[in-house]
Each structure stands twice: as C-alpha cells, then as structure tokens.
Amino acid sequence: MVRPVVPEADRVIGVRRPVLTHGFVALVDYMGNDAAIVQAARVSYGQGTKSVRDDRGLVRYLLRHRHTTPFEMVEYKFLVRLPIFVARQFIRHRSGSFNEYSARYSIVPDEYEVPPPEEVRHQSTRNRQGRGDPLPPEAVERFRTDLDRVSKDAYATYSRALADGVARETARLVLPVAYYTQWYWKTNLWNLFHFLRLRLDPHAQEEIRLFAAEIARLARVVCPVAFEAFDEFELASIGFGRRELVALRALLDGKTPTEACGSAGLPLVRDDGRPMTSGEGVEFLEKLERLRRAE
C-alpha cells in the first residue's frame, strides 16, 4: 500500500500565508486526497462499482447526499497564528485537535492587531453581533489610537511584571485580546467543511473570514474535486424550510412575494405596522434575491 501524495500540496507545506498584520496560516501535513475519499466510499460496494460512476461523480454524489464518513478519511494539520479575539471564535469548533502556544511557559511576543480604518464601524442594526455602517473618521481614529496605546501600556506592564519576578502564567493576565497566539490544528475534511461553511459566511466576523479563506486555499490543493463539490452543494446552495416551501409553491401559483409570505405564515410586518428588518420572512425574501442573482 502506497501513501497518497499530492505534489502540489507538498510544495506548499510549511509556507506561511500571511493573514492580518502578524498572523499566518501554514499547512503542516495532510493525510489522504480525493482518491482516499473514493477508496473509502467503495469499500462498501467493491471495485465493481467503478464503471457505474467515475471518481469525480462519486465525490459529488457523496457530498450532495451528505454521506460524510468518506470525507473524514482525509486529515489536515495547520499551524495558525492569530489574534486572541479570533482564536476564541475559532476554538468554538470542537471537532478538531488544538495545541496552543503556552504563555505559562513562554513569553508572549509584542504583537497585537489594530484593525484597518474601514473595519471600525457602527454596531449593526440587524445583526446583534456584527458591524454595520461606517463611523465618523474621528471616532475611528480615536478608537485605533486608544487600542494602540492600551496595548503598548499593557505590554509594558507585562514586561515589568516579568522583570519583577511575577510568574508568566500570572503576568499574562494584563494582555488584551488584540495580542496574538498560535496553535497547531488538526481536523478531518468533513469537519473542515463545517468550519468553512460557517466562517466563510458573510455574517461571520471579517477577521476570521480572512483566516478561513486562506485555510480553504491551502486545503483545496489537497482535495480539489471535493472542494469543487463543496463550493457547489454547500457554499452556493440555498436551503428552504417547510413554510418557505409553501411560499415557493405560492410563488409558482402566481402570488407576489408578499402574498406568498402571508400565505405561508412568514411575517414581514410587526404588530405596530412597521416593516420587519429581520426574521424568517425577511430571510426568505433574501433567499429569493439570491436565486435571482444565481448564475
């Protein structure tokens, strides 16, 4: 038995792809490729099924019908350097193995993230955890200046504490979440798809989207066929719930979108008569707009 090798992936192993000011993503190792997915799937059926469906068609079939186990046969190991505030979002994805740089054993480098001016914006009026419209330039610069000052002051306090003999595990408490950490992350392809489906979404925070995009570029080199299917059947697909299907049927019967939402119980207006800016009805109309723009 020969270990699957992807020459294009071997050439990028260890190459650090920059993200943000001080961050990066590097592919450390991989196990398996598109052929490994096919091999795992055909264990159940035997070699005789190969004439029925070619490899690319089988991978697409598996993803389309969410037969997930064969995708778990492919594994990746990444080295990721990222701000702590991004790391806290990253670690929510529990389906992987993490080994993080220890600030108990090592001194934290003096590296922190100050977002570019265009990323300092108002709180979104629709998304309770996201950014919205631009802020006045003076508010943007005041925040960025304050963040720079606070970070420098915190690191000076951290350095002074270390010089006074304070244990590293205690001295690190003064550092803000703008500072950087790094870790090794090992995950299989199916769990990686789940991570990317959430973190490439436009509603995800911009900083983690940048890391997700770079991770996807590296992972795609190992399994280009699987990623082609992922792009089509996961990222570019649109799911509809039961009431949304009722509304779609009403649209096919000639009703307007507003009438269709009404007949399906998808509200578009509040009790006080004001138009809704979020909710199931608004999201359904957004899905219709995506359908209109689909190529």
- Confirm whether 144 is a catalytic residue: no
pLDDT at 3: 82
pTM recorded for the entire structure: 0.91
One of 60, 81, 172, 199 is an active-site residue; which one? 199
pLDDT at 45: 59
Q: State whether the Cα torsion 63-66-68-70 is positive or negative.
A: negative
Calpha distance 144→106 (Å, rounded): 28
Long-range pairs, 285-290, Cβ under 8 A, ≥24: 285/257, 285/261, 287/238, 287/240, 287/244, 288/251, 288/257, 290/238
**Residue in the block written with tokens 């792009």:** 231
Query: Contact 233/213 with Cβ under 8 angstroms?
Result: no
Nearest one of 115, 182, 116, 110 to 153, comparing CA atoms: 110
What torsion do the CA atoms of 189, 192, 197, 203 make, to the nearest 10 degrees?
-170
pLDDT at 95: 81
- Looking at this protein, which amino acid is placed at residue 90? F
Nearest one of 214, 228, 236, 235 to 34, comparing CA atoms: 228
Calpha distance 136→95 (Å, rounded): 41
pLDDT at 275: 92
DSSP 3-48: ----HHHHHHTT--EEETTTEEEEEEEEE--HHHHHHHHHTTT-GG
Residue 138 CB neighbours (<10 A):
8
Query: Contact 34/226 with Cβ under 8 angstroms?
Result: yes
pLDDT at 29: 97
Residue 280 CB neighbours (<10 A):
18
pLDDT at 44: 61
Q: Region of 67 please: left (phi>0), alpha (psi -120 to 50) or beta.
A: beta
Calpha distance 226→192 (Å, rounded): 12
pLDDT in tens, the chain (295 residues): 678 899 999 999 999 999 999 999 999 999 999 999 999 998 765 555 454 458 999 999 999 999 999 999 999 999 999 999 999 999 988 889 999 999 999 999 999 999 999 999 999 877 777 888 999 999 999 999 999 999 999 999 999 999 999 999 999 999 999 999 999 999 999 999 999 999 999 889 999 999 999 999 999 999 999 999 999 999 999 999 999 999 999 999 999 999 999 999 999 999 898 999 889 999 999 999 999 887 7
Query: Contact 17/218 with Cβ under 8 angstroms?
Result: yes
pLDDT at 53: 55
